[in-house]
Amino acid sequence: MTQIIVLPHEELCPKGALFEAAPGTSICDALLEHNIEIEHACEKSCACTTCHVIVREGFDSLEEATELEEDMLDKAWGLEANSRLSCQAIVGERELVVEIPKYTINMAKEGHSK
């Protein structure tokens, strides 16, 4: 099992969290399994950015993002060099420290902007 530390998020996880996840599990599924209700508007199909996370530690232990994920990430609010879509980032053997950004872009909820 791999330890995941989730930094505090005002709405989803005010005190932060610490839990273990099985290698091979997506970060999104691990969060959901531990009652951290991260948005995943496209049902984890790599078609939106609502599950965007920033991997503060352990980023290099994740497999590289696919071209499709990179294209989606380009649309994410608050994109950083160590950003991933949590539905596509698979937990490996090293501890992860994850930050859920304060904002997400959910086109289904917010409508398309010009």
Residues 69 and 4: their CA atoms lie apart, in Å, by 22
Per residue in 31-59, pLDDT tens? 999 999 999 999 999 999 999 999 999 99
The answer to whether residues 109 and 39 touch, using CB atoms and an 8 Å cutoff, is no
Domain of 81, in residue numbers: 2-110
Please report which helix (H) or strand (E) contains residue 20, including its range. strand 17-21
Per residue in 98-108, pLDDT tens? 999 987 765 44
pLDDT at 96 over 60: yes
Residue 82 sits in a domain of what CATH number?
3.10.20.30
Tally of domains within the chain: 1
Of the candidates 80, 79, 81, the residue with the CA atom closest to the CA atom of residue 104? 79
Q: Scan for tokens 């995943």, then name that residue.
A: 40
Residues 8 and 17: their CA atoms lie apart, in Å, by 7
Task: Please give the model's pTM, rounded to 2 decimal places.
Answer: 0.90
pLDDT of residue 104: 72
